[in-house]
Structure 1
Amino acid sequence: MSGDVHLRDLRYFVAVVDAGSFTSAAAALFVSQPALSKQVRALETRLGVRLLDRGPGGLTLTAEGEALLPHARRLVTDWARARDDVRRAGTAPTLVVGMQTTVGRDLTRRLLAATRERGHRLQVRLISWSDPSAGLADGTTDVAFVWLPLVAGDLEARVLLREPRRVALPADHPLAARPTLAPADLADEPFVALPRSAGPLREFWLGGVARSIAVEADTAEGAIEAVASGSGVALIAEGNARLLARPDVVCVPVPDLAPCELAVAWRRGDDRDLVRAAVDALLPS
């Protein structure tokens, strides 16, 4: 046995046991199946034992897995309770908002006004694209701004706005001077992609077709930096093209692509006042 294990790995182990398969557990956790398998194998390596037998009849716990399971459940539950106790310890309830880039579009201002009006506090967490739930899956955020399609799971979402998509190109790219581009114009271009763990969201921002992937980026800022360096091109929302504007990148409309949708999301069944108030403040009147 070598090194301390991570709470995330224990949570993943419990999720696999409860779901009965890596596929179902990966969907519930908003991670890719290969990433989930890798983390469980890492847990087994740290403990120096095999926890699960992967046979033709499905997954079964080994004796070591049976011994670990109740402790893992308790640790995961205790941490969730500790996190909630810490949040409640403040003088006012805190709404933790997840986002993967600066949202703008007057949405954050409206959310701040609504939380202040009710005596709540607002905390913003920037989260990488590797977690397409923007912190909702592991409970580190209460509501989140997310781009659809939403990864399957126990989340609710409401669309806030729809925007055309553009393609971000280096300023000296041969296509940068064109007023618009068609999807076919991008067929041979290397792309900057979201991480594979982003699942369907990655495919949406690749235009829904097979691409030559030049590099992966965990953040919108990282994607734009990769474009500016000449590594590849990237699809981007029209509003984000304005928010992330820089002189060495040009964003050209691609009108034949379906628009993108920005939504507010929260965990299904979370009917706390601060969550309901946040969603109500953001939805179009």
Structure 2
Amino acid sequence: MNLDAVRTFVAIADAGRFQRAADDLSITQQAVSKRVTALERDLGVRLFIRTPQGVRLTVDGQAFLPHARALLLAAERAADSVRPGRRALRVDVINRRIAPARLLRAFHSAHPEGELDVVTNLLDADSAIAAVLSGTIDATFRALTMPTRELPEGIESARVLDDRLQLLTGPGHPLAGAGAVTPAELARYKIWMPGIVPGTEWAAYYDELSAEFGLTIDTIGPNFGSDALLEAIAGSSTLATFVGEEDPLVGPAHHDLRRIEVRDPTPVYPHSLVWLGDNPHPALAMLRDHLRSTRPDRSDAAIWTPTWARERHPGRRASRV
């Protein structure tokens, strides 16, 4: 099976659009289409259905996706087992369009001499921590819902970014003209967050956020990727969504999307770097130094984090970045 074709399939599934996947892979959209066509021919099934909003997986595509991710991870481990010399630092992020990916881009810009391999194949924190333990990846950016003392032996973590949530609306939403809103005021509106997977750390975060402030967070509906979400928000007078202050948004200017600050308190999403304490990779130490030196100040009292991010336990294996 052609691994480039499998990698392209996973990139499209994550991005929701052929062109976006082409941008992520640094190839042309024509090359993306050819790889998918060849893979569908080899498998004898159709993997995607094109829609005006992008593409969505067929039933066969949904069945193939977890195996495709596992195949790519196995291929990476096989290559690492025989790769001579210094290898790239492999760091996991949930996807390439959230704040940790921006942190990695800034790190690479500051240290262009080092090779960096960004992995996006892992769904939840447990899978990511297991990959750190096995050596499949060197580090991962995750929100940790368990006390630090309950992390596996040898695993270390450090909080590296508290990303402030903002409300994102289209121009026709009742809150579109607001300079800022409070969580209490948002209780009257529906927050649409398609794609939240039960059992993940981000599901735990939004579950507690909605319970704390009486929010209605709707996860119903297929996830066609960020482009489709932005288009739906732009055209709706009832739907809004949450985005991180550090999350880049790319969309047509005519969408006229509005970012609105959430205050009193400001919910923040707690990103931590997780790594194996005895990992000797020199670039890992450089990454930790970079994150420590560039971490913004989020020490003000007017923020909200879930209880599992506030808990402190004696004997915890916390670490400075």
TM range (shorter): 0.5 to 0.7
Residue 172 of structure 1, CA deviation:
1.8
Greater Rg over alpha carbons, structure:
1
Mapping of 1:82-93 within 5 angstroms? 83=77, 86=80, 88-93=82-87
Which whole-Å CA distance do the structure 2 matches of 1:232 and 1:151 have between them?
A: 32
Match of 1:95 in 2: 89
Match of 2:240 in 1: 233
Match of 1:204 in 2: 205
Residue 191 of structure 1, CA deviation:
2.2
Question: What TM-score, normalized to structure 2?
Answer: 0.50
Pairing partner for 2:139 from 127, 140, 143:
143
Match of 1:276 in 2: 285
Match of 2:21 in 1: none
Which whole-Å CA distance do the structure 2 matches of 1:200 and 1:135 have between them?
A: 11
The AA in structure 1 aligned to 2:124 is D
CA shift digits 1:213-244 (9 cap, x unpaired): 1436496666545534548422221121xx11
The AA in structure 2 aligned to 1:144 is T
Runs of 4+ displaced beyond 6 Å: 79-82
Match of 2:268 in 1: 259
Question: What TM-score, normalized to structure 1?
Answer: 0.55
SS of the residue 1:110 aligns to: helix
Which whole-Å CA distance do the structure 1 matches of 2:233 and 2:204 have between them?
A: 18
Residue 136 of structure 1, CA deviation:
4.6
Does residue 108 of the first structure (1) align with residue 102 of the second (2)? no
| Residues 266, 219 of structure 1: alpha-carbon distance in 2 compared, 3 angstrom cutoff | farther
Residue 106 of structure 1, CA deviation:
5.7
| Residues 211, 137 of structure 1: alpha-carbon distance in 2 compared, 3 angstrom cutoff | farther
Which whole-Å CA distance do the structure 2 matches of 1:190 and 1:170 have between them?
A: 13
Residue 212 of structure 1, CA deviation:
4.4
Contact 1:192 1:232 in 2 (8 A): no
Which whole-Å CA distance do the structure 2 matches of 1:253 and 1:157 have between them?
A: 29
| Residues 131, 200 of structure 1: alpha-carbon distance in 2 compared, 3 angstrom cutoff | closer
Match of 2:11 in 1: none
Which whole-Å CA distance do the structure 2 matches of 1:258 and 1:138 have between them?
A: 29
| Residues 211, 92 of structure 1: alpha-carbon distance in 2 compared, 3 angstrom cutoff | same
Match of 1:122 in 2: 116
Residue 179 of structure 1, CA deviation:
0.9
Contact 1:151 1:199 in 2 (8 A): no
% identical equivalent positions: 16
Does residue 131 of the first structure (1) align with residue 140 of the second (2)? no
| Residues 277, 263 of structure 1: alpha-carbon distance in 2 compared, 3 angstrom cutoff | same
SS of the residue 1:252 aligns to: strand
CA shift digits 1:135-168 (9 cap, x unpaired): 453354322333x345674343222233422111
The AA in structure 2 aligned to 1:93 is R
SS of the residue 1:270 aligns to: coil
Residue 121 of structure 1, CA deviation:
1.7
The AA in structure 2 aligned to 1:96 is R
Contact 1:192 1:215 in 2 (8 A): no
Which whole-Å CA distance do the structure 2 matches of 1:220 and 1:278 have between them?
A: 28
Contact 2:196 2:202 in 1 (8 A): no
| Residues 107, 82 of structure 1: alpha-carbon distance in 2 compared, 3 angstrom cutoff | closer
Contact 2:210 2:217 in 1 (8 A): no
Match of 2:33 in 1: none
Which whole-Å CA distance do the structure 2 matches of 1:88 and 1:267 have between them?
A: 21
The AA in structure 2 aligned to 1:162 is D
Query: What are structure 1's unaligned runs of at least 5 residues?
Result: 1-75
Q: How many aligned positions are there? A: 201
Which whole-Å CA distance do the structure 1 matches of 2:231 and 2:276 have between them?
A: 32
Query: What are structure 2's unaligned runs of at least 5 residues?
Result: 1-69, 295-321
Residue 180 of structure 1, CA deviation:
0.9
Contact 2:125 2:201 in 1 (8 A): no
SS of the residue 1:164 aligns to: strand
The AA in structure 2 aligned to 1:263 is S
Contact 1:87 1:94 in 2 (8 A): no
